[in-house]
Chains A and B, each alone.
Chain A
Amino acid sequence: MTTSELRPASNSLRWTISDCLAMTGRNVRRLMRAPDQVVFTLLSPIMFTLLFRYVFGGAIRGLGNINYVNYLIPGIAVQTAIFTAGNSGFALAEDRGKGFIDRLRSLPMARSAVLAGRVSADTLSNAVGLFIIIAVGVAVGFRPESIPGLLLGVLLLLGFALATCFIFALVGMYASNVQTVNAATFPVIFPLTFASSAFVPTSTMPSWLRAFADHQPVTIVINAVRALTIGNVSSAQREQLFAGQSTSSLVIQSLLWALGIGLVFGSLAVRRYNSTSI
């Protein structure tokens, strides 16, 4: 058999899709073979759930008639989505470090498939992680007001998770190992997830912090998911919980943030991937 018979031209859309699927499959398989890694990522959100539900929850004020656990779980879910997205950075740094990316680069595959396969796999793993976290939430008393609202919230969250994967992927394209990815992202992730409405209403924060917390994307997404799951609230509560914003406005802002983050970091990551070789 000659080479040309064996390897057809690879510039068609069909090959691009098949390459993306092959890479996603490989990445998912890796995740399934190391479930401890996924479980480990879920450990801290689960601990936070228990801690805030049972230890701090009783002391949190400013929620009116809203049950704190219903307030808490959307925050935990967004935190889970961000932590799980971190794997995009870790796994890319590892693949680069081990020379696996070099092997891929020497193949006539679609270049976009490396990144696409990575973020797809991590978004799938995010779906599983969110399912587990919501199940834990239900076990400790989380009762979403509407199931369609919950499903919409999860979809929104997955879109945001996908965008977040690109941020980590970009870091993973520069960092030489997992520790570096961690060190580079932790100082950003930590304030974004905690200086947010995840655990306490921003109305309880000092005004300078509240100004930041109310407008940063993590709060926007948490509030959107919360607004979708918590049901009707009075206008006073809307003022306190969501800085007066309507559910639809929160959802649209979340989508715009996800789109913006995905486009900016996605194209930076693609640029980086392409620039390091011919």
Chain B
Amino acid sequence: MVADSLVKTFNGTVKALDGVSFEIPQGTVLGLLGPNGAGKTTAVRVLTTLLKPDSGRASVAGIDVVARPQAARRVIGLAGQYAAVDEALTGRENLLLVGSLNHLDRRARQQRATDLLDRFDLSDAADRTLKTYSGGMRRRLDLAAALVARPPVLFLDEPTTGLDPRSRIDLWSVISDLVNDGTTLLLTTQYLEEADRLADQICVVDHGRVIAEGTASELKDRLGGTLVEVTLDDDGLAAAAVGALSGVGDDHDSVKREGSVVRVATATGPATLTEVVRRLDAAGIEFAGLQLRQPSLDDVFLALTGHAAEEAATAPKSKPSRRQKEPVS
């Protein structure tokens, strides 16, 4: 999948995409990470033939989506940001409809619907209308609908937004399985943890531009390996701490303050930790907490954009250890 210098402007003023480029090798997962309004959905809509770019090229499985949209539709599956399933139909009817519109013959689509309902743990609810489904069930059905025709290229636009933590983790494992089957996947997310967990490569987008790309660990390396994080009682004390700590860390701007938290980026964690304690002690500044940790993607985002990922605060708060890249198996 290739996106090459995509530009899309809405109403002549809103630059939803401002020259977005990325490439996804076959069978790998790209995480498009960015806050609300970054342009993620617009990028997905262009690549899935729903929206014509003002300029730039986009192709899926080698098929140009603008020149041959109908051919492109034959190789893609899309689960949009909002579960696009029919409330009034049952789970099975939804999948049968999609199967029929994909021109699977009757036997094939019935078999496929049954298999998918089973795989997504919806067999018991298969013949109930979606009015009785929970949010997590709808999302799973939406994902199942995207998979009916076994597309080699899949788009998931914020697949877990709005789900409770338990459903989110369930969905993650389903997506991991898919990826193991060799599907090429473009996943958009506001959750840094999600990109870290599922994607091989991450593109960070903000205001319609790719502002960074790389693997999760490459992005973390940009922050200089390790963070010493000091929590103080208030912002004033934190500002004083920044003064006391000037010069600590790898270079002159290693020390950053966010509210009452001060972070020092460093390649030599333990030594810096000792230095930090010594300096604060000498300055007579008491601190409420102190820890040495790997930078999270939240930190990366903050460093790259100068503002926090807006929705990150609503993501389930997780311990630093869970943020380590787990082998996707």
Contacts and interface: CB of A to CB of B under 8 A. Distances in A.
A3 B71 CA distance: 12
A109 B73 CA distance: 9
Interface of B: 45, 48-52, 65-66, 69-70, 73-78, 80-89, 93, 97-98, 100-104, 108, 129, 145, 149-152
B108 A278 contact: no
Interface of A: 1, 3, 6-8, 10-11, 15, 18-19, 22-23, 26, 29-30, 33-34, 98-100, 102-109, 113, 277-278
28 contacts: A7-B103, A10-B74, A18-B100, A18-B103, A19-B100, A22-B97, A26-B86, A26-B97, A29-B89, A29-B93, A30-B88, A34-B88, A98-B82, A98-B87, A99-B80, A99-B82, A102-B45, A103-B78, A103-B84, A103-B85, A103-B98, A105-B50, A106-B49, A108-B103, A109-B101, A113-B101, A277-B49, A277-B50
A99 B74 contact: no
Contacts of B70: 10-11, 108
B47 to A, nearest CB: 10
Contacts of A7: 74, 102-104, 149
A36 B84 CA distance: 24
A6 B101 CA distance: 12
Given A3-B150, A278-B50, 5 more contacts: A3-B74, A29-B93, A106-B50, A106-B76, A278-B49
A106 B102 contact: no
A103 B151 contact: no
Contacts of B50: 102, 105-106, 277-278
Given A106-B48, A278-B49, A278-B69, A8 B76 contact: no
Nearest to B145: A103
Contacts of A22: 97, 100-101
A105 B101 CA distance: 11
Nearest to A111: B70
Sorted nearest first, the 4 A-B pairs with minimum C-beta distance are A103-B84, A99-B84, A109-B101, A108-B73
Contacts of A99: 80-84
A156 B76 CA distance: 43
A99 B93 CA distance: 18
Nearest to A29: B89
Contact of A277 (B52, B86, B93, B104): B52
B49 A105 contact: yes
Contacts of A34: 88
Contacts of B97: 22, 26
A113 to B, nearest CB: 8
Contact of A30 (B51, B86, B108): B86
Nearest to B151: A3
Given A18-B100, A100-B84, A106-B48, A278 B65 contact: yes
Nearest to B93: A29
A59 to B, nearest CB: 45
Contacts of B149: 3, 6-7
A11 to B, nearest CB: 7
B15 to A, nearest CB: 19
A3 B86 contact: no
A98 B88 CA distance: 13
Interface centre among A11, A100, A105, A106 (most CB of B within 10 A): A106
Contacts of B86: 26, 30, 100
Contact of A3 (B75, B78, B81, B108): B75
B74 A102 contact: no
A10 B103 contact: yes
Contacts of B89: 26, 29-30
A29 B88 contact: yes
A26 B85 CA distance: 12
Contacts of B102: 6-7, 107-109
B138 to A, nearest CB: 11
A15 B103 contact: yes
Contacts of A33: 88, 129
Nearest to A34: B88
A149 B151 CA distance: 54
